[in-house]
A and B are shown apart, each in its own frame.
Chain A
């Protein structure tokens, strides 16, 4: 036998106590890992959703466009189209193997029928190529390249208008002569997920070009360009210089990366993440206080053992080592159990989505497919192990500091 085996014996023979510890730590750690992966998934998907549906990785627009787009100080109403020369300059400025540039027209619009009038941002993509990765289509279908006068509205808009797929509604837009109306058909009802309640509808590309023309913008094919695939780690200044170098005599373009373009939304995601992490922190404080209490109680039950060991000649350090080895083994085992349980749970929820109902859908979307945050899990497990041992050390030190005579005077 050696001291390590002595610790192992204590664990295996005091089954009830060991099981309580393992259950306690593994359940607590599983909850922490699960919560962390939950936050990670929401943050990741929200960011993915912002990139895919709002900004791409880099958004290129007129430098006359005031303020940062999609931010709290953004230019929601002031839409300035790009000229063909500007669009061509951008396309030629980047190697097409490393960058995919997508044309988009963005405008504000109202939809009206006999029931109600609703407003929101309306987007259209060249070839009607709406990315559906984070798009939750409730009914109908996506817009295809051949669709004319078609619209996809959000479920909220559909509820307000009391409209369904196949219904006709009026799109109200601004022209040189004032406001105009165009009848459009609802071909789908759905929404971009995880954009924290931002209302975005989609119309077909030809219709939006026509509307821009009527607004006095001529043959304009985009109000902004999105770089959706970027292999370079290019800086904002480098990108702007590259684009603007060939633009003589025309107003320049501005470049905004996705995270600054959507700083309002990113800020919201970080705020929600922070709230959940504060909750996790409180949970951990409760867990550690309970662990502390559990160890003190179990230590008091072993006073005679401590007294006997000290009387035999075991130093405080040796007894401390025995106790810490026990709690170390239990902690490592419990943490491994929690990693396995959380992995199985998250794998299950990554294949079978968690469905949410309003109002939490504002943050989570209606369906959430969990993702495993490996480094987050490693960080949690390491933090838990160090914290548990630190929290153990305090009560264990108190236990082993009992004078042998005091401990032995306890007749059990």
Chain B
């Protein structure tokens, strides 16, 4: 019997990323190769400056590789033009930021609704259903009319998670989602993300340097000085 090699959902091959800091070239990633399966709940661990965020930014098309290749669902990100990258981010990726990055003038409902404003294929009724569904899923149904300034850090991050999920993305990229939260709230957020990961089968890739958070992941990939040093299931 011939065994066909199954291609990972996210395939990262020998990716290098250099930054020019004046006359000095800083190597942020030095040949990273990694495969991530669909529905996986993956943590990228490592100290500050190890290259975790750079890796997430490359997967999310916020930055371009210096060399190497990244494929998502069989599609290479290298050849995408600016407009295609915008489309890719809307359809495929949901972002959760360390600093939440909610729009201060919009309330919870509107913040979650924001990515759907540019999804032409989602009807108004469908939009309303999705927004309410995810706000309920993150436990903020009674806070729908609240502005970000009226919420706690944990609640804000929940809104950010709902916003990341509302477009039904294939992957949610979360860059240090618990870094600005106390440890208890941080664990709650990770558990919420894990719960949604199981229910919606959405791939979650998040970076963290908190061991307690890493414990909740299906797999942990450790990055040090731009290279993957170990992987633990």
Contacts and interface: CB of A to CB of B under 8 A. Distances in A.
A220 to B, nearest CB: 83
Contacts of B117: 1-3, 6
Nearest to B94: A312
B62 A405 contact: yes
Size category of the binding interface on chain A: 20 to 34
B62 A312 contact: no
Contact of A408 (B62, B88, B91, B118): B62
B110 A412 contact: no
B22 to A, nearest CB: 16
A411 B88 CA distance: 25
B104 interface: yes
B103 A312 contact: no
Interface in B127-145: none
A76 B171 CA distance: 92
A206 B162 CA distance: 98
Contact of A9 (B87, B90, B106, B118): B106
A6 B87 CA distance: 21
A1 B113 CA distance: 8
User: Secondary structure at chain A's binding surface: helix, strand, loop or mixed?
Assistant: helix
B196 to A, nearest CB: 18
Contacts of A89: none
Given A1-B110, A1-B113, A405-B57, A312 B63 contact: no
B200 interface: no
Interface string A306-318: 0111111111101
Contacts of B88: 313
B94 to A, nearest CB: 9
B187 interface: no
Given A311-B60, A312-B95, A13 B104 contact: yes
A313 B103 contact: no
Nearest to B92: A313
A6 B106 contact: yes
B101 interface: yes
Interface in B78-97: 82-83, 86-91, 93, 95, 97
Nearest to A322: B117
A305 interface: yes
Interface string B155-170: 0000000010001000
A271 B103 CA distance: 54
Contacts of B104: 13
Contacts of B95: 311-312
B99 interface: yes
Contacts of B83: 315
User: Secondary structure at chain B's binding surface: helix, strand, loop or mixed?
Assistant: helix
A309 B93 CA distance: 13
B90 A313 contact: yes
Contacts of A3: 117
B36 interface: no
Given A312-B89, A313-B90, A408-B97, A305 B115 contact: no
B16 to A, nearest CB: 17
Given A14-B105, A312-B115, A314-B118, A9 B110 contact: yes
A310 B114 CA distance: 12
A368 interface: no
Contacts of B99: 304, 411-412
Interface string A112-149: 00000000000000000000000000000000000000
A13 B86 contact: no
Nearest to A412: B99
A404 interface: yes
Nearest to B131: A1
A312 B88 CA distance: 10
A244 interface: no
A10 B103 CA distance: 10
A2 B110 CA distance: 10
Nearest to B102: A308
Nearest to A11: B105
Contacts of A304: 99, 101
A316 B62 CA distance: 14
Contacts of A12: 105
Interface string B46-89: 00000000000100101100000000000000000011001111
B105 A9 contact: yes
10 closest A-B pairs by beta carbon, nearest first, are A313-B90, A13-B105, A313-B89, A308-B101, A315-B86, A405-B62, A312-B115, A9-B105, A311-B95, A1-B110
18 contacts: A1-B117, A6-B114, A304-B99, A305-B103, A308-B103, A310-B86, A311-B95, A312-B89, A312-B163, A313-B90, A313-B93, A313-B118, A314-B86, A314-B118, A315-B83, A316-B82, A408-B62, A412-B99
Given A9-B110, A405-B57, 18 more contacts: A1-B106, A1-B110, A6-B106, A6-B114, A9-B106, A13-B104, A13-B105, A305-B103, A308-B101, A309-B114, A312-B89, A312-B114, A312-B163, A313-B90, A313-B93, A314-B118, A316-B82, A403-B62
